[in-house]
Structure 1
Amino acid sequence: MIALKADQIKGNWATLLSVWNDDSLDICRVKEEIDTLIDMEVDGIYSNGTTGEFHCQSEAEFDMISECLAEKCNKTGMPFQIGVSHMSAQISLERLKRVVHLAPSAVQVILPDWFPVTDEEAAVFLKRMAEASEGIGLVLYNPPHAKRVLSPEEVGYLSGEVPRLVGLKTAGGDKSWYDSMRKHIPNLSVFVPGHLLASGIQEGASGSYSNAACLNPAAAQRWTDQMQYDMDSSLELEGRLRQFMDNYIVPFITEKGFCNGACDRFMAVVGGWADVGSRMRWPYRSIPETEAPRVRAEARRLVPEFFK
């Protein structure tokens, strides 16, 4: 694939979920999942994010997933990004070096995540990654649980220091956050949570590495396309998606202590679009699939568009 510029990274990007058979990677089911996402014609696919469990993969497993995704996407012309993130800067750099030849559209990185980095250390890290990327753009993944959650102004500083930085994956924020985004990082592709995409697009965001796509990638794509010609209806659907998330998904985190990745994986079970299962890799807990019928019934009631 051709490396994408910031203004070319947009829309609904679906996550590639890891699939575990007991405690081993089931690469056959991962390949089937990639084929399904390609058939659904999403705007792009990315691997090795939080729900892809980059933090739990061996280096051999990372290489296997990355190579499978690249082979299928390069063959079909599907844009794809590879997450080279790791808590260790050294391992992240080595992952990046190993995937450059796969020609991803961009790569996703997190900041080193044991000690919180300073602005200077973050810039030094990203500069080294950019040097190794051989022209492939960097997308900074900065989730709410990162040791260092950056403001738009701080991301703007890094963007000025590292021209190869083309995108930001973030939780977004309120109106003041978007005002700051437009002021400090107008040249980056900014991706916000999937269930907040319509209001995010309205405020100037570029797209989403989408939790809504975990529920149903094809439906998330139809909704994203709808935003181009019917924003009012798209915002109305967003309101129902927010209600579903707040009432039936978020409590698994706030009340029962499951991690975010377990919730995204559970939504794929609720949506039933791929054979990925609810299993998280040890030591993380998985949401029992016995919860799925109850949550699926509420999802069908609130967002029937995601079950067509």
Structure 2
Amino acid sequence: MSNFVPKGIIPPIVTPFTLEGKVDYDRLREMVDFLIDNGVHGLFPMGTTGEFYAVSDEEYREILMTVKDQTKGRVPVYGGASHITTRGVIRLLKICEDVGMDAVSVLTPMFVSQTQDELYTYYKTVAESTSLPIIMYNNKPKTNVTIEPTTVARLSEIVNIIGVKDSTGDMTNTAEYIRLTRGNDNFHVLMGRDTLIHAALCYGATGAIASCANVAPRVCADIYDKYMAGDVKGSLEAQYLLAPLRIACGMGTFPAVIKEGLEQQGIHVGKCLDPIAELKTEEKERLHRVLMDMGLVF
């Protein structure tokens, strides 16, 4: 049984790139400090927001090493290990083990439409290949694959599968994850839709992997910290403050809005790798107004 509890606000940290498309490791170190200084409870390199699909294994290893080194044990580091094949995930897990990740997030395979039995076997095989704590990652809007609540409940009985991140945006699905696993103290549910963090905490989630925490880490941390301190109203107000930023993410191809939001705050992380385009001028202006209303720019 794992004693590791995934909790709090965990940003899937962006991967900064230079104009030439190379990983900017110095900027990545600055992002680590910026996020931790603003109260986040963990860091998650190589998630969807980190453009995990765009880097080589060598870059992947160096990104994880950089985040781990700069974090210096201040918060847990969760490595993303996502691939279209089981063997591809296992290869990445070995890198996570080598680097010393505290836990790993494993997305459902992309493009391939698996049955629930195939998903069960996939996660079971992955879990058996490592001693690291594993968080399953359901991002149905991106993959067109979902882990059904009954499948999550079955998988929750595997000792090192300790949680699931739900990015479906379907609160009923999240609630079922929690309901069906609520008797298992070793298993935890994380929200993956930034507009629903407060709601998920009310239902029993232990935190959120929140892409908007890259741009507004203190606001996101307030949702969790205030809720845990018993200030439910303050938590809800922080959620209301965050919501327009997450809704604005629909203006561009993800994660273009996240990177532009950082750029507008003077945190230079570069653009997303091609073929993702920068926001149009009018979209940047709309985003700027959102950030102004949040008190992040002036």
Where on the TM-score scale, by shorter chain, does this alignment land: which range? 0.7 to 0.9
| Helix, strand or coil at the partner of 1:86 | coil
Q: 1:141 aligns with which of 130, 137, 143?
A: 137
| TM-score after normalising by structure 2 | 0.87
C-alpha separation in 2, matches of 1:202 and 1:289 = 38
TM-score with structure 1 setting the length = 0.84
Return the alpha-carbon distance in structure 1 between the equivalents of residues 84 and 96 of structure 2. Answer: 18
Query: What is the DSSP-based 3-state SS (H/G/I as helix, E as strand, rest coil) of the residue aligned with 1:25?
Result: coil
Q: Number of paired residues? A: 290
Partners of 1:99 and 1:176 lie apart in 2 by: 32
Paired with 1:185 and 1:268, the residues of 2 have a C-alpha distance of 37
Pairwise mapping of residues 146-295 of structure 1 onto structure 2 (< 5 A)?
Answer: 146-160=143-157, 162-171=158-167, 173=169, 176-186=172-182, 187=184, 188-192=187-191, 193-228=193-228, 229-246=230-247, 248-250=248-250, 252=251, 258-270=252-264, 272=265, 274-277=267-270, 279-288=271-280, 291-295=283-287
Aligned equivalent of 2:84, options 87, 103, 113: 87
Structure 2 residues without counterparts, runs of 5 or longer: none
Name segments (4+ residues, structure 1) moved above 6 Å. none
Matched residue, 1:16? 13
Q: What residue number does 1:255 align with? A: none
Distance in 1, matches of 2:170 and 2:54, equals: 32
Q: 1:212 is aligned with what amino acid?
A: C
**CA RMSD, Structure 1 to Structure 2 (Å):** 2.4
Give the gaps of 5 or more residues in structure 1: 253-257
SS of residue paired to 1:263: helix
Q: Is the 8 A contact 2:49 2:211 kept in 1?
A: no
1:102 alignment partner in structure 2: 99
> Match for 1:118 among 107, 115, 133?
115
- Cα distance in 2 for partners of 1:269, 1:230 equals 32
Q: Deviations over 1:84-134 (max 9, x none)?
A: 112233222111112213222210111222322222222222222222222
1:15 aligns to what SS in structure 2?
A: coil
Return the match for 1:36 from 24, 27, 34.
34
1:99 maps to amino acid: C
Structure 2: distance between partners of 1:273 and 1:78: 24
Distance 1:173 1:210, change over 3 A: closer
